[in-house]
Structures are given as structure tokens and as C-alpha cells.
């Protein structure tokens, strides 16, 4: 379900699959070839949410923001596994956020990281690129090994194919009715916007 909120229309790229039971509302943009899976809630009602291309947001994820303070940025080729909570944070390109993680306001996960399943990333935590982050609360463990790098890459690549498989089965790519609509947006903070 793609919902307008206070005139703000979600912007949806090409070949994007949003399952009908997922909710995408307000100032949200979604890049090409991204999949948003069953029962996700992505609520851009009080700040903006930007999701890059070839991203997968798996089942039952909850994405939200903080009014006037913390938008949410997810760069290209990120995987967000099942049941993750992302709130007002930044996830850089190619990172895998493992199942059931919580990432809080102002946190930034660097490029090509792996956040281990079940981790809690506290407010304002900064993770350097290409590292394994794990624990409750999480700490930086070490640089990723080759197996972990492969896992991270494989998941986003597989998910680009999975959503196309669903379309072959009769599901439809999602479109928003943004065309011709003068949709207002929350102000973008250039220091964190890198898409």
C-alpha cells in the first residue's frame, strides 16, 4: 500500500516490488530494482526517508524517523533482513543488517559492513566501513573476512532476482501516483544526503 500523507507522495523507481501488505507512506523515495517485502512499515510522516537502488527490506521491518532531527538514509545495495527496526539512521552502500537488529537515531553504519543478527546499535554510534558490528549493545568486532564479504554481497544480489521472480508469478511492480503531482518534501540535509 503506497499512501500519500499531507500531500507528500512516495516516489517509486523502476522495477520496484512493494508487496500489497507493506505500507509506504509520505516523504519516502525508493530507487530502482528495490524490494520491500511482506508487512513492512515505512513511515515518512515527520521527516524524509530515502532508500537507494537494489536494496531489499525484508519482511516485518519497521522504518521511521524523528521530527526535525533524524531522517533515514539507506544507500544502494543494502540488505535489511527480516524484522529489523531502523530509526533515523544512515546505512551506507552494500551493508547487510542482520535479522532482528535495532538501529537508533543518529547512528551511521559505514559502507560494506555486516551488522550481526540481533544487534542493538545505540544512538549516534558510528561504524567504520567493511567491519563486523555485533552485540546488545553492539561493538565493532573487526574487519569482515572473505566469507562475510561474500554473504553480504550475495544477499542483495539474490534479492534483486527474487522480486523479479515474484513478478514472473503474476505480482506487479509498484508505481506511485506522483506523476504530475507537486509533492511537498521535508528539507534535505546535504551533509548526510549522498545518494
Q: Which is nearer to ligand COA, 69 or 150 (CB)?
A: 150
Q: What is the largest CA-CA distance in the chain?
A: 48
Does position 161 interact with ligand COA (CB under 6 A)? The reply is no
Write the secondary structure of 128-170 as one string of H (helix), E (strand) and C (coil): CCCEEEEECCEEEEEECCHHHHHHHHHHHHHHHHHHHHHHHCC
Return the C-alpha cell found at 89: 539512521
Q: How far is the CB of 159 from ligand COA (least distance, A)?
A: 8
Q: Which is nearer to ligand COA, 30 or 116 (CB)?
A: 116
Instruction: Look at residues 111, 131, 132, 107 and name the one whose alpha carbon lies nearest to residue 121.
Output: 107
Does position 55 interact with ligand COA (CB under 6 A)? The reply is no
Cβ distance 64 to 72 under 8 Å? yes
CA distance 120 to 104: 8
Does position 120 interact with ligand COA (CB under 6 A)? The reply is no
Return the C-alpha cell found at 168: 514472473
Q: Which is nearer to ligand COA, 68 or 135 (CB)?
A: 135
Residue reference for cell 550475495: 154
Q: 67-93 in b/e burial notation, b at 16+ Cβ within 10 A?
A: eeebbbbbbbbbbbbbbbbbbbbbbbb
**Number of residues located near ligand COA, criterion CB under 6 A:** 14
Q: Out of 117, 120, 140, 178, point to the residue binding ligand COA (CB under 6 A).
A: 117
Q: Out of 46, 74, 81, 89, point to the residue binding ligand COA (CB under 6 A).
A: 81
Which region among 6-14, 59-67, 112-120, 160-168 touches ligand COA (by CB under 6 A)? 112-120
Q: Which residue sits closest to ligand COA, CB atoms considered?
A: 98
Does position 124 interact with ligand COA (CB under 6 A)? The reply is no
Q: Out of 10, 98, 106, 110, point to the residue binding ligand COA (CB under 6 A).
A: 98
Interface positions with ligand COA (CB under 6 A): 81, 98-99, 114, 116-119, 132, 134-135, 141, 148, 155
Amino acid at each position: 500500500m503506497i499512501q500519500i500523507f499531507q500531500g507528500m507522495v512516495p516516489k517509486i523507481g523502476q522495477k520496484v516490488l512493494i508487496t500489497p501488505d507493506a505500507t509506504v507512506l509520505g516523504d519516502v523515495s525508493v530507487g530502482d530494482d528495490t524490494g520491500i517485502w511482506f508487512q513492512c512499515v515505512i513511515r515518512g510522516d515527520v521527516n524524509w526517508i530515502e532508500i537507494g537502488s537494489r536494496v531489499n527490506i525484508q519482511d516485518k521491518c519497521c522504518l521511521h524517523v524523528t521530527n526535525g532531527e533524524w531522517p533515514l538514509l539507506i544507500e544502494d545495495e543494502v540488505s535489511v533482513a527480516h524484522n529489523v527496526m531502523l530509526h533515523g539512521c544512515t546505512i551506507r552502500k552494500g551493508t547487510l543488517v542482520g535479522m532482528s537488529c535495532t538501529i537508533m537515531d543518529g547512528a551511521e553504519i559505514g559502507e560494506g559492513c555486516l551488522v550481526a543478527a540481533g544487534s542493538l546499535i545505540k544512538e549516534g554510534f558510528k561504524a567504520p566501513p567493511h567491519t563486523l558490528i555485533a552485540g546488545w549493545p553492539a561493538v565493532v568486532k573487526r574487519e569482515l573476512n572473505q566469507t562475510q564479504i561474500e554473504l553480504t554481497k550475495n544477499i542483495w544480489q539474490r534479492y534483486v532476482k527474487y522480486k523479479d521472480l515474484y513478478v514472473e508469478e503474476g505480482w506487479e511492480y509498484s508505481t506511485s501516483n506522483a506523476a504530475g503531482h507537486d509533492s511537498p518534501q521535508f528539507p534535505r540535509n546535504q551533509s548526510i544526503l549522498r545518494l
